[in-house]
C-alpha cells in the first residue's frame, strides 16, 4: 500500500559540515529509516525513473580526470571518434524509449564544445524531444551563449558532476578547478535548464569528502534536480586503475545522505551497478535512490542490461516511473 505523506519535506540550503557528517555516521538502521521516510514524502517508493546514456563523441578529451578512460592524458587504448550523426543518435533514442527509458542522456568527451559542434548537438536535442522523451546532455564546460542555445533548443537537463569534495578535487583533476565546475552549473541554471550533478565514490577519498561533496550540492541556491552517484569502475591505464573498491555499506550511507540533504531530487544509481549485488541495489533503493541507467553500456563501461534490471525490478516489486515530472522545490 502506497503511503505518501501529505506534505513535502523542508528544503534546506544551510547544512553545516558537522550536521551532515553526523547524519552520514548515524547508526545504519536509523539512517536508512530516516532516508526512506523522507523519500516517501516526495516519491513513490516502488517506482524508479529509467534513463539511457549514449556516448555521442568518444575519447580524445583534453581533461586529465584520473578516473576517465576518455582522457587524452591516459593510455587506455580507447580510440577517439568524431561526433555522431544526429540521425543515428535519434534512432538510438527511439530504441531506448521502446525499452522503457523516459530520459535520453547524451555525452561527448570534450573539455568544452566548439561553436561548430553546437548545430549537430541542437539537432539531437530537438530530435529526441520530438520522440516525447526528456533530454540530457553532458558536453563539458559551457559558455553563457552555449547554455542559452541549448535552452532555446529545449534541453531539459545538463549533467556536469563535481566528482568529489572541493578539498580532494585537485587529487583527481588538475586541468580545471572545482570552481570551474560550479561556474558551469550556474550558467546552466541561469539559462533555465535543469541541473544533473553528483559525484563518484572510490577515488581514494575519505568519508568526509563524500559528505562535503553532497553538502556542496545541497547548499547551492537550488538543489540539482538529478543527483547521480557513481561507483568507480577502475580502468586500466588511468591513474586510478588500482583504486580500492568502495565498501557497500558506505555507498548506501552516501545514497541515504543525498536523499536526506536533497529530499526532492532524483538520486540516481549511475556507473558501477555491474559490481553491485541485487541486495546492495535494494538497499540503495531503500535508502532513497529512485533513478537508474538502463541498457548494457554507459559511456565506456558496462551496465547490467535490460534482462537483469527487469528481473531485479520484478523481485522488488518496482515499476519504471512513467512520468516526466520532478517535485517542485522551495
The predicted-structure confidence for 26-51, as pLDDT tens digits, reads as follows 999 999 999 999 999 999 999 999 88
The answer to whether residue 88 scores a pLDDT higher than 50 is: yes
Q: Return the higher-pLDDT residue of 202 and 68.
A: 202
The answer to whether residue 272 scores a pLDDT higher than 60 is: yes
90's grid cell: 535519434
Mean pLDDT value of segment 258-272: 95
pLDDT level of residue 326 (50, 70, 90 thresholds): very low
* Catalytic residue selected from 50, 103, 176, 196: 196
Q: What mean pLDDT is reported for the chain?
A: 90
Query: In the prediction, which pLDDT does 151 show?
Result: 97
Query: In the prediction, which pLDDT does 111 show?
Result: 84
Q: Return the higher-pLDDT residue of 197 and 71.
A: 197
68 is catalytic: yes
Query: In the prediction, which pLDDT does 8 show?
Result: 72
197 is catalytic: no
* Catalytic residue selected from 65, 253, 259, 284: 65
φ, ψ dihedrals at 48, nearest 5°: -130, 135
50 is catalytic: no
Tens of pLDDT, residue by residue over 158-210, are: 999 999 999 999 999 989 999 999 999 999 999 999 999 999 999 999 999 99
* Catalytic residue selected from 50, 103, 129, 136: 136
* Catalytic residue selected from 129, 268, 273, 321: 268
The answer to whether residue 2 scores a pLDDT higher than 50 is: no
* Catalytic residue selected from 50, 105, 197, 284: 105
284 is catalytic: no
- Separation CA 170–CA 268 (nearest Å): 25
Query: In the prediction, which pLDDT does 67 show?
Result: 85
Q: Return the higher-pLDDT residue of 64 and 57.
A: 57
pLDDT level of residue 7 (50, 70, 90 thresholds): low
Mean pLDDT value of segment 139-150: 95
- Separation CA 117–CA 146 (nearest Å): 10
Q: Which of 35-49, 58-72, 236-250 has the lowest mean pLDDT?
A: 58-72
φ, ψ dihedrals at 106, nearest 5°: -125, 125
Query: In the prediction, which pLDDT does 220 show?
Result: 97
Q: What proportion of the chain, given as a percentage, has pLDDT over 70?
A: 92
> Whole-model pTM?
0.90
The answer to whether residue 3 scores a pLDDT higher than 80 is: no
Q: Return the higher-pLDDT residue of 141 and 3.
A: 141
Tens of pLDDT, residue by residue over 276-313, are: 999 999 999 999 999 998 876 566 566 667 788 889 99
105 is catalytic: yes
* Catalytic residue selected from 61, 129, 176, 259: 61
* Catalytic residue selected from 68, 187, 284, 321: 68
Amino acid at each position: 500500500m502506497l503511503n505518501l505523506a501529505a506534505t513535502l519535506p523542508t528544503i534546506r540550503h544551510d547544512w553545516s559540515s558537522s550536521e551532515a557528517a553526523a547524519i552520514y555516521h548515524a547508526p545504519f538502521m536509523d539512517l536508512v529509516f530516516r532516508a526512506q521516510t523522507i523519500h516517501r514524502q516526495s516519491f513513490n517508493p516502488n517506482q524508479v525513473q529509467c534513463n539511457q546514456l549514449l556516448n555521442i563523441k568518444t575519447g580524445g578529451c583534453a581533461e586529465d580526470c584520473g578516473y576517465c578512460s576518455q582522457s587524452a592524458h591516459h593510455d587506455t587504448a580507447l580510440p577517439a571518434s568524431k561526433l555522431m550523426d544526429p540521425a543515428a543518435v535519434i534512432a538510438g533514442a527511439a530504441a531506448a524509449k521502446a525499452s522503457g527509458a523516459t530520459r535520453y542522456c547524451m555525452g561527448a568527451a570534450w573539455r568544452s564544445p566548439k561553436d561548430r559542434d553546437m548545430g549537430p548537438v541542437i539537432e539531437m536535442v530537438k530530435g529526441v524531444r520530438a520522440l516525447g522523451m526528456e533530454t540530457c546532455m553532458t558536453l563539458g564546460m559551457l559558455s553563457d551563449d552555449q547554455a542559452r542555445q541549448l535552452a532555446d533548443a529545449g534541453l531539459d537537463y545538463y549533467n556536469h558532476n563535481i566528482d568529489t569534495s572541493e578539498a580532494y578535487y585537485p587529487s583527481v583533476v588538475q586541468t580545471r578547478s572545482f570552481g570551474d565546475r560550479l561556474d558551469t552549473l550556474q550558467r546552466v541554471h541561469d539559462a533555465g535548464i535543469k541541473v544533473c550533478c553528483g559525484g563518484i565514490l572510490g577515488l581514494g577519498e575519505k568519508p568526509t569528502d563524500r559528505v562535503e561533496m553532497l553538502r556542496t550540492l545541497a547548499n547551492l541556491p537550488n538543489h540539482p534536480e538529478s543527483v547521480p552517484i557513481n561507483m568507480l569502475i577502475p580502468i586500466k591505464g588511468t591513474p586510478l586503475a588500482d583504486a580500492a573498491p568502495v565498501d557497500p555499506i558506505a555507498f548506501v550511507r552516501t545514497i541515504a545522505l543525498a536523499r536526506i540533504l536533497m529530499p526532492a531530487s532524483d538520486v540516481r544509481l549511475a556507473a558501477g551497478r555491474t559490481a553491485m549485488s541485487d541486495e546492495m541495489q535494494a538497499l540503495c533503493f531503500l535508502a532513497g535512490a529512485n533513478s537508474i541507467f538502463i541498457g548494457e553500456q554507459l559511456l565506456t563501461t558496462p551496465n547490467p542490461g535490460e534482462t537483469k534490471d527487469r528481473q531485479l525490478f520484478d523481485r522488488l516489486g518496482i515499476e519504471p516511473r512513467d512520468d516526466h515530472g520532478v517535485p517542485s522545490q522551495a
